[in-house]
Amino acid sequence: MTASPLNQDPHRLRGQHALNLEAAIGREVRLHRRQKNITVAKLAELTGLSIGMLSKIENGNTSPSLTTLRTLAQALSVPLTSFFREFEETRACIQTKSGQGVEMERAGTRAGHQYNLLGHIGSNASGVIVEPYLITLTEASDVFPTFQHGGIETIYMLEGEIGYRHGEKIYHLSPGDTLFFDADAPHGPEVFTQLPAKFLSVISYPQNT
Protein backbone atom coordinates (compact mmCIF):
# COMPACT_ATOMS: atom_id res chain seq x y z
CA MET A 1 0.00 0.00 0.00
CA THR A 2 1.39 3.39 -0.97
CA ALA A 3 1.51 5.96 1.82
CA SER A 4 -0.26 9.25 1.19
CA PRO A 5 1.80 12.48 1.38
CA LEU A 6 0.24 13.21 4.78
CA ASN A 7 1.54 9.92 6.17
CA GLN A 8 5.06 10.11 4.75
CA ASP A 9 8.09 10.47 6.98
CA PRO A 10 8.82 14.24 7.37
CA HIS A 11 12.58 13.51 7.29
CA ARG A 12 12.11 11.77 3.94
CA LEU A 13 10.08 14.72 2.60
CA ARG A 14 12.80 17.15 3.67
CA GLY A 15 15.32 14.94 1.89
CA GLN A 16 13.26 15.02 -1.32
CA HIS A 17 12.96 18.80 -0.98
CA ALA A 18 16.75 19.10 -0.72
CA LEU A 19 17.28 16.87 -3.75
CA ASN A 20 14.89 19.04 -5.78
CA LEU A 21 16.80 22.14 -4.70
CA GLU A 22 20.16 20.63 -5.64
CA ALA A 23 18.83 19.63 -9.06
CA ALA A 24 17.40 23.12 -9.64
CA ILE A 25 20.69 24.78 -8.66
CA GLY A 26 22.65 22.40 -10.89
CA ARG A 27 20.45 23.16 -13.90
CA GLU A 28 20.88 26.92 -13.39
CA VAL A 29 24.67 26.64 -13.03
CA ARG A 30 24.87 24.64 -16.26
CA LEU A 31 22.52 27.05 -18.04
CA HIS A 32 24.56 30.15 -17.09
CA ARG A 33 27.83 28.41 -17.93
CA ARG A 34 26.60 27.48 -21.40
CA GLN A 35 25.15 30.93 -22.00
CA LYS A 36 28.61 32.36 -21.31
CA ASN A 37 30.20 29.74 -23.60
CA ILE A 38 32.43 28.56 -20.74
CA THR A 39 33.59 24.97 -20.57
CA VAL A 40 33.61 23.00 -17.33
CA ALA A 41 37.41 23.02 -17.45
CA LYS A 42 37.49 26.81 -17.82
CA LEU A 43 35.00 27.27 -14.98
CA ALA A 44 37.14 25.02 -12.79
CA GLU A 45 40.12 27.25 -13.59
CA LEU A 46 38.14 30.43 -12.76
CA THR A 47 36.74 29.13 -9.47
CA GLY A 48 39.43 26.81 -8.16
CA LEU A 49 36.86 24.01 -7.96
CA SER A 50 37.66 20.62 -9.42
CA ILE A 51 36.02 19.43 -12.63
CA GLY A 52 34.58 16.51 -10.67
CA MET A 53 32.97 18.84 -8.12
CA LEU A 54 31.50 21.05 -10.85
CA SER A 55 30.09 17.95 -12.54
CA LYS A 56 28.43 16.87 -9.29
CA ILE A 57 26.96 20.35 -8.80
CA GLU A 58 25.57 20.56 -12.34
CA ASN A 59 24.07 17.08 -12.08
CA GLY A 60 22.46 17.84 -8.71
CA ASN A 61 24.51 15.18 -6.93
CA THR A 62 25.84 17.43 -4.18
CA SER A 63 24.70 20.33 -2.08
CA PRO A 64 27.11 23.24 -2.73
CA SER A 65 27.92 25.57 0.17
CA LEU A 66 26.98 29.24 0.10
CA THR A 67 30.66 30.07 -0.36
CA THR A 68 30.86 27.80 -3.40
CA LEU A 69 27.71 29.33 -4.90
CA ARG A 70 29.09 32.83 -4.35
CA THR A 71 32.30 31.83 -6.11
CA LEU A 72 30.34 30.41 -9.03
CA ALA A 73 28.15 33.52 -9.23
CA GLN A 74 31.21 35.77 -9.41
CA ALA A 75 32.88 33.62 -12.07
CA LEU A 76 29.70 33.58 -14.19
CA SER A 77 28.88 37.26 -13.53
CA VAL A 78 25.34 36.51 -12.33
CA PRO A 79 23.49 37.28 -9.08
CA LEU A 80 23.72 34.56 -6.46
CA THR A 81 19.91 34.44 -6.35
CA SER A 82 19.76 33.42 -10.03
CA PHE A 83 20.74 29.88 -9.02
CA PHE A 84 17.50 29.54 -7.04
CA ARG A 85 15.19 31.00 -9.71
CA GLU A 86 13.81 27.73 -11.07
CA PHE A 87 13.29 26.29 -7.59
CA GLU A 88 11.40 29.33 -6.28
CA GLU A 89 9.14 29.91 -9.28
CA THR A 90 5.66 28.45 -9.10
CA ARG A 91 4.53 26.45 -12.12
CA ALA A 92 0.88 27.14 -12.75
CA CYS A 93 -1.56 24.48 -13.89
CA ILE A 94 -5.25 25.11 -14.53
CA GLN A 95 -8.00 22.52 -14.94
CA THR A 96 -11.32 23.56 -16.47
CA LYS A 97 -14.04 20.94 -16.14
CA SER A 98 -16.43 20.30 -19.00
CA GLY A 99 -18.96 23.10 -19.35
CA GLN A 100 -17.19 25.36 -16.85
CA GLY A 101 -15.19 27.61 -19.18
CA VAL A 102 -15.72 31.31 -18.43
CA GLU A 103 -17.89 32.97 -21.08
CA MET A 104 -16.06 36.01 -22.46
CA GLU A 105 -16.87 39.15 -24.40
CA ARG A 106 -14.69 39.40 -27.49
CA ALA A 107 -14.87 41.07 -30.89
CA GLY A 108 -17.08 38.37 -32.37
CA THR A 109 -19.55 38.29 -29.47
CA ARG A 110 -21.72 40.92 -31.11
CA ALA A 111 -21.98 38.61 -34.13
CA GLY A 112 -23.40 35.84 -31.96
CA HIS A 113 -20.18 33.92 -31.44
CA GLN A 114 -19.94 32.35 -27.98
CA TYR A 115 -16.47 32.36 -26.38
CA ASN A 116 -15.58 30.20 -23.40
CA LEU A 117 -12.10 30.82 -21.99
CA LEU A 118 -10.66 27.45 -20.94
CA GLY A 119 -7.74 28.77 -18.89
CA HIS A 120 -5.32 31.65 -18.54
CA ILE A 121 -1.85 31.98 -17.05
CA GLY A 122 -0.44 35.50 -16.85
CA SER A 123 3.21 36.30 -16.22
CA ASN A 124 5.32 33.15 -16.51
CA ALA A 125 8.87 32.03 -17.15
CA SER A 126 8.27 31.25 -20.84
CA GLY A 127 7.52 34.90 -21.72
CA VAL A 128 4.47 33.78 -23.73
CA ILE A 129 0.76 34.22 -22.97
CA VAL A 130 -1.53 31.44 -24.25
CA GLU A 131 -5.32 31.81 -24.28
CA PRO A 132 -7.43 28.75 -25.23
CA TYR A 133 -11.06 29.35 -26.21
CA LEU A 134 -13.97 27.09 -27.08
CA ILE A 135 -15.97 28.95 -29.74
CA THR A 136 -19.55 28.02 -30.60
CA LEU A 137 -21.42 29.13 -33.72
CA THR A 138 -25.18 28.63 -34.07
CA GLU A 139 -27.99 29.66 -36.41
CA ALA A 140 -28.07 32.97 -34.55
CA SER A 141 -24.42 33.69 -35.38
CA ASP A 142 -23.29 36.06 -38.14
CA VAL A 143 -20.17 35.73 -40.27
CA PHE A 144 -17.24 37.76 -38.96
CA PRO A 145 -14.12 37.39 -41.15
CA THR A 146 -12.31 40.55 -40.01
CA PHE A 147 -10.66 39.66 -36.71
CA GLN A 148 -7.15 41.10 -36.39
CA HIS A 149 -4.84 40.88 -33.39
CA GLY A 150 -1.22 40.17 -32.60
CA GLY A 151 0.30 36.76 -32.09
CA ILE A 152 -0.22 33.28 -33.50
CA GLU A 153 -3.54 31.43 -33.52
CA THR A 154 -4.37 27.75 -33.87
CA ILE A 155 -7.87 26.49 -34.65
CA TYR A 156 -8.95 22.88 -34.17
CA MET A 157 -12.38 21.98 -35.53
CA LEU A 158 -14.56 19.88 -33.22
CA GLU A 159 -18.07 19.95 -34.67
CA GLY A 160 -19.88 21.23 -37.76
CA GLU A 161 -18.32 22.68 -40.92
CA ILE A 162 -17.31 26.24 -41.78
CA GLY A 163 -15.32 28.23 -44.29
CA TYR A 164 -12.68 30.18 -42.39
CA ARG A 165 -11.04 33.17 -44.02
CA HIS A 166 -7.40 34.10 -43.51
CA GLY A 167 -6.24 37.00 -45.63
CA GLU A 168 -7.34 36.40 -49.22
CA LYS A 169 -8.08 32.68 -48.85
CA ILE A 170 -10.99 30.69 -47.38
CA TYR A 171 -10.25 27.29 -45.79
CA HIS A 172 -12.95 24.65 -45.44
CA LEU A 173 -12.81 23.20 -41.93
CA SER A 174 -14.52 20.04 -40.74
CA PRO A 175 -14.04 18.02 -37.51
CA GLY A 176 -10.38 17.12 -36.97
CA ASP A 177 -9.02 19.90 -39.21
CA THR A 178 -6.43 22.36 -37.91
CA LEU A 179 -5.58 25.87 -39.05
CA PHE A 180 -2.41 27.57 -37.77
CA PHE A 181 -1.80 31.19 -38.77
CA ASP A 182 -0.44 34.67 -38.17
CA ALA A 183 -3.33 36.44 -36.42
CA ASP A 184 -2.29 39.89 -37.64
CA ALA A 185 -4.01 39.20 -40.99
CA PRO A 186 -7.82 39.60 -41.24
CA HIS A 187 -9.41 36.28 -40.30
CA GLY A 188 -12.61 34.67 -39.09
CA PRO A 189 -15.52 32.40 -40.04
CA GLU A 190 -17.09 33.50 -43.32
CA VAL A 191 -19.11 30.51 -44.58
CA PHE A 192 -21.41 28.44 -42.35
CA THR A 193 -21.74 25.06 -44.04
CA GLN A 194 -23.05 23.00 -41.12
CA LEU A 195 -24.24 24.37 -37.80
CA PRO A 196 -23.93 24.24 -34.87
CA ALA A 197 -20.16 24.44 -35.16
CA LYS A 198 -17.56 24.30 -32.39
CA PHE A 199 -13.82 24.78 -32.56
CA LEU A 200 -10.91 25.35 -30.22
CA SER A 201 -9.00 28.58 -30.76
CA VAL A 202 -5.60 28.88 -29.06
CA ILE A 203 -4.00 32.33 -29.23
CA SER A 204 -0.39 32.91 -28.17
CA TYR A 205 1.52 36.18 -27.95
CA PRO A 206 4.46 37.71 -26.04
CA GLN A 207 3.44 38.69 -22.52
CA ASN A 208 4.93 42.19 -22.89
CA THR A 209 2.37 43.13 -25.56
Q: Evaluate whether residue 94 is within a structural domain.
A: no
Range of the domain at 27: 10-88
Q: What pLDDT, in 10s, does the model give residues 148-172? A: 888 999 999 999 999 999 999 999 9
End-to-end CA distance of the chain: 50
Residue 171 near residue 156 (C-beta atoms within 8 A): no
User: Is the pLDDT score of 12 beyond 50?
Assistant: no
Same domain, yes or no: 173 and 83: no
Q: Evaluate whether residue 65 is within a structural domain.
A: yes
* Residue 105 DSSP SS3: coil
pLDDT value of position 17: 43
pLDDT value of position 157: 95
Domain end marker among 62, 88, 114: 88
- Nearest of 152, 148, 151, 171 to residue 161 by alpha carbon: 171
Number of domains in the chain: 2
Same domain, yes or no: 148 and 198: yes
Helices assigned H by DSSP within 51-203: 51-58, 66-76, 85-88
**In the beta sheet, which residues pair with residue 165?**
170, 188
* Residue 192 DSSP SS3: strand
User: Is the pLDDT score of 1 beyond 90?
Assistant: no
pLDDT value of position 111: 63
Q: What pLDDT, in 10s, does the model give residues 32-74? A: 999 999 999 999 999 999 999 999 999 989 888 889 999 999 9
Same domain, yes or no: 116 and 80: no
Same domain, yes or no: 148 and 59: no
Model pTM score = 0.53
Same domain, yes or no: 82 and 157: no
Same domain, yes or no: 144 and 61: no
Q: What pLDDT, in 10s, does the model give residues 80-94? A: 888 877 665 556 666
pLDDT value of position 122: 64
